[in-house]
Amino acid sequence: MRNDLEQYIQEQKQCWEWYPEFKKKGIAVLTHFVVYKSECEDFQFLSVDWIARQLGISESYLSRCYKDFFKSSLYELIVQRKMTVARKLLLQRPDLSMDEIAAKLDYCDGNYFIKVFKKEVNITPHQFRLKFSKRKKRTRKGRVNTKY
């Protein structure tokens, strides 16, 4: 996946050379795309620093382009994406400990992951797992409903 993203980024950079007036908007949109295409195995490299290096620009310029276009910070987007993946892991992989989930999301340890999760989701990962794993109900057609 990482190589695909790197190749896609390089292709987009070539487009900016042809149409420089779209560069700032392109940086913001491409960054958003890269973050949303990221999965667990990508979080070890997903950072403002890595994206800026791939684009050949400074972190501050990348952050400014993103904030000007989307009116929110790139760091917040990365944290939100990690929390989306965390919620999926908590429900789909009940065998994983908080330390294991933290490692998959590139957090230093389980305690820090719990702190960030509680701040972003307003409940602890354990409470989330208990609350939403009970909501998996069978529908009439026998499918499992996993909306959360």
- Portion of the chain with pLDDT greater than 70, in percent: 80
Q: What is the pLDDT of residue 139?
A: 47
User: What domains can be seen in the chain, in order of their start residue?
Assistant: 2-72 (no CATH), 76-141 (1.10.10.60)
Residues 114-124: pLDDT tens digits?
999 999 999 99
Based on the number of CB atoms within 10 Å of its own CB, is 62 exposed (0-12), middle (13-18) or buried (19 or more)? buried
Enter the tokens of residue 21.
């007036």
End-to-end CA distance of the chain: 27
CA distances from 11 to 55, 94, 147 (A): 11, 39, 36
Element (H, E) at 138: strand 137-138
Residues 19-63: pLDDT tens digits?
667 677 788 888 887 787 776 566 767 788 988 888 888 999 999
